[in-house]
Amino acid sequence: MNQDRPTKKTTIYDLAELAGTSASAVSAVLNGNWKKRRISSQLAEKITRLAEEQGYAINMQASLLRREKSKIIGMIVPKYDNRYFGSIVETFETMARERGLFPIITCTRRDPELEVEAARTMLSYQVEWLVSTGATDPDRISDICGAAGVGSLNLDLPGTKAPSVISDNFTGARELTRRILVNSERKLGAARPLLFIGGRGSDHNTAERVRGFRAAHADIGIPVDERHILTCGYAPEKAEMSLQALAMAEREVPSGMFVNSTISLEGVMRWIKRSGHYVDHSPVMGCFDWDPFAALLGDEIEMVRQDVQGMLNAVFEVIDHGARGASLIEIPPVFVDSNYALINDPMV
């Protein structure tokens, strides 16, 4: 507040001088360790008041240098452009703070180089744990952390060198597919094979979801058309182009779709709108992820919401109790009734 020379920050030495005591006393008081060092409550109060008056803020760099633990926890996240990652970040921050940890988060924009650079930077800041969310090469990051004796954890996409917390993609996709097929049957009279679109065939989650997709078709005994499994990447344009190419190649347009992410769904919806193929009969749809506006699109679109709270509970379970194997923890996703989807959004 009443700081006259804003250039230099108040230190515990300044406070000690003002209070006519020593820096160690100030430190003890300000850290609440003063019951142990039976400091007179009078002195304690004086110090506290002075600190307040001077707008004192501890220098964490100095404090952490001296301490053994940094209480800093890092997370890298690919993007901030959808509800899923947004919710992960927000929940992570909250849970970290609840534990007295200081979260630092950085967005690596799906760039492998940035990922490792970010990991190194976080190590420089002495993070005690690093959570890699949706990382392209999680094992690389685990190696870097491992070399520095820092724990790492994978979220959303699994790795083999650290505990991984992911959605139960297989079961979720199987159930989502089942629901779309049921809607297809209700709407079209008979269940017809669906199209799968979005994601990279090489990534674990997409592979598992394709497996669930196949299983659900097998469950009711209808065949999957291999040309209708379009793991074309995540970007909206990729999805749009794939569908366009498919429509050009075939005379019929898909009557139902399993869309692998909201980001792919953007491209799918755009194509549906622009192509003009569906003016009277919109396709039966499902999306492995959730978005409030997408929920309002078209007649009805089944959506799975990944259980972010559940996943982060598992993450902090590991952190709190320090397990370090390369276990794979799969969290069942949640199916939302589209009418209640918005109401139940924990982020609103």
Residues near its own copies, by CB under 8 A: 1, 3, 6-9, 55, 57-62, 64-65, 70, 79-81, 83, 85-87, 89-90, 93-94, 102-107, 109, 120-121, 123-126, 143-144, 146-149, 235-237, 262-263, 265-267, 269-270, 273-274, 291-294, 296-297, 339, 342-343, 345, 347-348
Binding segment for DNA (CB under 7 A), chosen from 35-43, 92-100, 216-224, 328-336, is 35-43
- Using CB under 7 A as the binding rule, whether residue 21 contacts DNA is answered as yes
Residues 6+ apart with CB under 8 A from 296: none
Q: Which does 328 bind (CB under 5 to 8 A by kind): DNA, its own copies, none?
A: none
Q: Which does 25 bind (CB under 5 to 8 A by kind): its own copies, DNA, none?
A: DNA
Q: Which is nearer to its own copies, 170 or 258 (CB)?
A: 258
Candidates 17, 18, 43, 275: give the one binding DNA (CB under 7 A): 43
**Burial annotation 224-258 (CB, 10 A radius, 16+ → b, else e):** beeebbbbbbbebebbbbbbeebeeeeeeebbbbb
- Using CB under 7 A as the binding rule, whether residue 189 contacts DNA is answered as no
Q: How many CB atoms lie within 10 A of CB 6?
A: 7
DSSP strand E in the chain: where?
72-77, 102-107, 129-133, 151-155, 164-167, 195-197, 199-200, 229-230, 232-233, 256-259, 284-287, 301-305, 328-331, 334-335
Q: Which is nearer to DNA, 99 or 281 (CB)?
A: 99
Apex CA 93: angle with CA 261 and CA 154, to 5°? 55
- Using CB under 7 A as the binding rule, whether residue 223 contacts DNA is answered as no
- Alpha carbons 1 and 21: distance in angstroms, whole number: 22
Q: How many CB atoms lie within 10 A of CB 112?
A: 12
Q: Which does 347 bind (CB under 5 to 8 A by kind): its own copies, DNA, none?
A: its own copies
Binding segment for DNA (CB under 7 A), chosen from 27-35, 98-106, 254-262, 265-273, is 27-35
- Alpha carbons 134 and 84: distance in angstroms, whole number: 11
Residues that bind DNA in the complex, under the rule CB under 7 A: 8-9, 11-13, 20-25, 27-28, 30-31, 33, 37-40, 43, 58-59, 62-63, 65-67
